[in-house]
Amino acid sequence: MGILARSAVSRKPNEGMRLIITTLVGIAFGFLIGVSFPMLTSTKLNIPSQDLQGKNSGLSTHTLLNAFSALKGNKDTSIEAKKLINTSKIWVPSNPRGAERLPPAIVAAESDFYLRRLWGLPSEDLTIKQKYLVTFTVGYGQKDNVDAAVKKFSGNFTILLFHYDGRTTEWDEFEWSKRAIHVSVAKQTKWWYAKRFLHPDIVAAYDYIFIWDEDLGVEHFNAEEYIRLVRKHGLEISQPGLEPRNGLVWRMTKRRGDREVHKEAEEKPGWCNSTLVPPCAAFIEIMAPVFSRDAWRCVWHLIQNDLVHGWGLDFSLQKCVEPAHEKIGVVDAQWIVHQTFPTLGNQGQAENGKAPWQGVRERCKREWSIFSNRLLNAEQAYYKSMASDP
């Protein structure tokens, strides 16, 4: 019994000492924590709750650790922590749609057709930056006519050929073809190509965009002089005058030999509700149009994705410039001949005993009606939504 009593008494001092030591260690640890994180109690980490949820939140454990480590030894820990946590949440409203997460200085929103090298410094790639773009939609059967047309355009023009017959390499017999851009998709029109390859942000480097057919006679045409006259007369949408031959439809586009440019014409009785509307003014045809950069940005949006012949566009181009009767015109001093070769029409398909070109022509007329109705319905819907009377 004596031994048991002594054992019980001897344990009490040891337990007391252990309690004292544990308390001191706890105090020391708390003091160290306070020294290590002096701002922890006064700093609020603003971590959005959605960033802590889901495996796709964009906030990793590594990011959180960096944020907490930034709390130590920084004067403005709140700002630093927010920077680290929110780097994946950059939002710049002025950035293009889809690029809001990028810093503005890295965004390359526009492009061009300038050819680049596979070697050297990018800054040394270009010896010249062309100021204008000309496109031709071509078949190899018209190679000589296209060759003559291309040679009317100086080195200030980027040449872009759209091939509707799938033949591209054969064009390398022409020296200029090796510097041109070639895009080939079988049995497509120039407006199909334009909608897909001439987005305003892609052609933003060019002051003027020529979108021409392959069957144009250009003996009396000079591209540089044409640009000079377009600038002089303030034309945003234009075309060269047409030499009156077979196939001339509109008096507005007929060449006049006594002036540089004209913007109005007297059409057949009943064709114009006003002298300032198409086809008496604010009107060109779609075989050889020329657009300024700003006008093309509007026209591109006017082109319908599924309507490929462009019929009806000529009557609606007036919507893209203001005042249209002053900024749309025909350049008489630089004129062309529409030779009306039916090569693209022959790319159609014979059906029900009709020749290929007949089916193409029917599609053209049908598209004109579809486009006109769409535009009318869109305008009426807009006015209705605004409770306005057009």
Domains and CATH numbers, the chain: 34-109 (no CATH), 130-359 (3.90.550.10)
> 369: Cβ–Cβ under 8 A, 6 or more apart, which residues?
none
Q: What is the pLDDT of residue 375?
A: 96
For residues 367 and 304, what is the distance between their CA atoms, to the nearest angstrom?
10
Q: Which amino acid would we find at residue 32?
A: L
Read off the pTM: 0.77
Pick from 137, 178, 181, 136: nearest CA to 158? 181
Residue appearing with tokens 């987005």: 199
CB within 8 Å of 298: residues ≥ 6 apart: 319, 320, 321
Q: CA–CA separation, 140 vs 145, rounded Å? A: 10
Q: Of 102, 131, 136, 97, which is closest to residue 114 (Cα–Cα)? A: 131
State yes or no: cis peptide before 279, omega within 30 of 0. Answer: yes
Regions of the chain with pLDDT less than 50: 1-11, 37-65, 67-68, 70-73, 75, 77, 81, 84-85
Cβ–Cβ < 8 Å for 170, 161: no
pLDDT at 34: 58
The pLDDT value given to residue 13? 53
* C-beta of residue 88 within 8 angstroms of C-beta of residue 59: yes
Give the number of other CB atoms < 10 A from CB of residue 368.
18
Angle at CA 65, nearest 5°, toward 85 and 70? 70
| CA separation for the pair 341, 308 (Å, rounded) | 19
Residue 50 is predicted with a pLDDT of 41
Could you report the per-residue pLDDT of 239-261, keeping only the tens digit for each? Answer: 999 997 765 779 999 999 999 99
How far apart are alpha carbons 128 and 155 in whole angstroms?
9
Residue 254 φ then ψ, to 5° = -70, 135
Residue located via tokens 């640890």: 29
Cα 357 from chain centre: 33
Length of the chain: 390
Give the residue from 297, 319, 316 showing the smallest Cα distance to 371.
316
| Structure tokens given for 144 | 């000589």
Report the number of secondary-structure helices (H) and strands (E) in the chain. 10, 9
Residue 51: both structure tokens together: 């960033």
Helix/strand/coil for 305: coil
Per-residue confidence (pLDDT) for residue 79, from 0 to 100:
55
